A and B are shown apart, each in its own frame.
Chain A
């Protein structure tokens, strides 16, 4: 299924979006590393769902939004995006800061969303460990800390196998700046979010890598306890990028979860 690229205007901001597949809409929110495009897991999931994978404002080829201050702004923005793109009541999947955004959206407007998939989301403070300070390290160092074992990543060569072009470096810098703008302080979490999680009764799948060195897996337990209708699946031999590190297993999990019951 070949995806198409669209620019969807939300509040005057052009949002570069990958759209592909058929079936019920699934909105996919990327992490701080940016929108990696139509990767293998999306190809599989789009066989049964229409995937909408926007690039956050300030990232990649989407327009700037330097007025934004935090992930709650991004969450409100994506609730607006759902209306602007006429997605109805989509399933929502978010990874890392995209997962945090998804959780915030659900606490703001649970009824606007169908099922939730939260993949190694930041957003709540770990009870014992710490979220890695990603801005403290170079992109190269970070990559080695983000995945468990590059040798097991099927798309490693396509995604990371060659040095980035100047244009790719510019986009990566832009992504990092916008991520810093949204998450600097309190670092990668909202101290108030946990208080609102019980409102979210949507069926929710939480996915984590056992070897996640960026966001400790205990955060997965905390989300599971906070979200009344959630389950946590921990993948062995996997770091912070389950959709990239184990695309086939991950796509299967998502399809099983979303494709099971009809809409809530």
Chain B
């Protein structure tokens, strides 16, 4: 099993009591609380941690994108990919990912990803996501069209990468008369495609049909297994065999020399689960964004919101792993046994977890955990 390092690049640089005054930290928490100097320092720090994770032996560096939220100020995943493409050497760069439904120009997206792949020497893993509702509000993109735009944007990007230009595209949501991108990815026919899942059975089936790597985020094991079953159903329809290389899982994880230190550090993940997920339902799932099946599945997948769980419950529920390297190896082995995944994505830095703690965790993961789980 391969391990991936991931930071949401948060901007938790304001008094919590200020955030508590608003219905959510997303969309409406005023950006006068954005501290430009600290943000500049944080970007230097976060990128240094990614570079160290590359040196420590992580198989991949995962980056993501959100908007209008202090939980993630990585607002341009392709920009970050380009930076890491130059400053790292070995690890794959996993963009998980670009938010397709809010993209108005899939051709530009295909070009930017191709450029990142060229700069990084063919290390891009290109994740495509539907985004949470907040991004739909941010982009003022009609949520009713979310899935249609996701699929059409994907289809056009793939066509840019696999069919010689020039060609014309007249779809329902995208219209281009002269498509002929003069920037194509190094990897042939194109970078591997990854798809995350949180609650949508349709997405799992869709990814399975295409043989994309599918990664449920922060869901209970039994829900992940159900989503994998939908994935296998899609794969079977297309006559594809599913191996552990097709399946991944994401959790929060930190390690330290002692259990006490690790548990202290792991407590920072609670901010990500709690305050940053607090919002009216309409903001995360605006009308029409989810199908009825998706909405019903979401209710089962999250019988309790992560935002309402204590740290102890989050650890007990396997959403957060915090322990000595041996303990972490043990927990990761359990994830592998339970889910049969080939990729484990670690949200490994969050909020106010300090730089030395983050670096030490990366170092211990590299020295002890990565070698121990490699053969699983």
Contact = CB atoms under 8 A, between A and B. Distances in A.
B287 A180 contact: yes
A68 B156 CA distance: 23
A189 B196 CA distance: 36
Interface stretch (B107-115, B240-248, B278-286): B278-286
A138 B280 contact: yes
Given A180-B143, A185-B142, A137 B287 contact: no
Interface string A156-187: 00000000000000000100110011001101
A176 B143 CA distance: 11
Nearest to A179: B287
A135 B286 contact: yes
A180 to B, nearest CB: 5
B287 A176 contact: yes
A137 B142 CA distance: 16
B282 A177 contact: no
Nearest to B148: A66
B30 interface: no
Interface residues of A, number: 12
A138 B144 contact: no
Q: Is the interface of A mostly helix, strand, loop or mixed?
A: helix
A206 to B, nearest CB: 29
B140 interface: yes
Given A177-B287, A177-B288, A180-B288, A135 B140 contact: no
Nearest to B295: A173
A181 B282 contact: no
Contact of A173 (B141, B142, B287): B287
A138 B288 contact: no
A256 B5 CA distance: 72
B280 A180 contact: no
Interface in A168-213: 173, 176-177, 180-181, 184-185, 187
A48 B304 CA distance: 55
Contact of A181 (B141, B144, B280, B281): B144
Interface of A: 135-138, 173, 176-177, 180-181, 184-185, 187
13 contacts: A135-B286, A136-B280, A136-B282, A137-B280, A138-B280, A138-B281, A176-B288, A180-B142, A180-B144, A180-B286, A180-B287, A181-B144, A185-B142
Given A176-B288, A177-B288, A187-B140, 10 more contacts: A135-B287, A136-B283, A137-B280, A138-B281, A138-B282, A180-B286, A180-B287, A181-B288, A184-B140, A184-B143
Across the A-B interface, give the 3 residue pairs with the lowest CB-CB distance, nearest first. A184-B142, A177-B288, A176-B287
